[in-house]
Structure 1
Amino acid sequence: MYGNWGHDVSTWGYVWFTASTVVFWVVFGLVAFAVTRAVSRGSGRPQAPVTPPERLLAERFARGELDDDEYRRRLAVLRDNVPLTKGG
C-alpha cells in the first residue's frame, strides 16, 4: 500500500518493540516485588509486642508520674502475671 516510502515497520522494529516491552514488564515486576517485600518487612527489626497496660505504664513514666524503680517494679509485675487464655 505504501510502496517503498519507509512507512512499514522493519524486522528490527518488531524486534526492538518486543524486546523493550519484555524488558519493561520484567523491570515493572521486579519493582513491584521489591516494594511489596519492603512493605511487608516493616522496619526490619523484630519488636516485642507491647500490651496496652505496658504502654500505659510507659506513658505514665514518660510524664514523670513514676520514678525509675517504681516503673521497673510495676513492669516486672505486669510481665510476670500474664493472664491465661480461655480454655487453657
Structure 2
Amino acid sequence: MYWGNGMSAWAMAFTTLVNLVFWALVIVGVVMLGRHFDRRTPPNTAPRSGPKDGRPLAHQILDERFARGEIDEDEYLHRRQVLDGRPTARPSVG
C-alpha cells in the first residue's frame, strides 16, 4: 500500500534488525559490566593456594588457629611436624 516515498518492506525489516541488534548489545554490555564488578576477589591478586611467603595454606591455617588460642603449643608443634612431613609421637593429653 506504500507508494512513492513510503518505507519499503526491506527498510522496515532492516530497521527492525538494527533495533534488535542494538538492544542485544546493550543487554550483553550490562551483563558483562555486572559480572566485572561482582568479582569476589580483585583480578590481580594471588590465588588462595597459599600466602605470599610460599608456605602452603595448611601452615597458614595452623598458625592462625594457634594465634587465636584454639590449640595449645604442644598440639601446634605436633601438627606442624606432621605438615612438614616429620610425624612424631602424639603429645600426651593432660
- Shorter chain as denominator, the TM-score bin is 0.3 to 0.5
TM-score normalised by the chain length of structure 2 = 0.41
Q: Which is helix-richer, 1 or 2?
A: 1
Higher normalized contact order (CA 8 Å, seq sep 6+, divided by chain length): 1
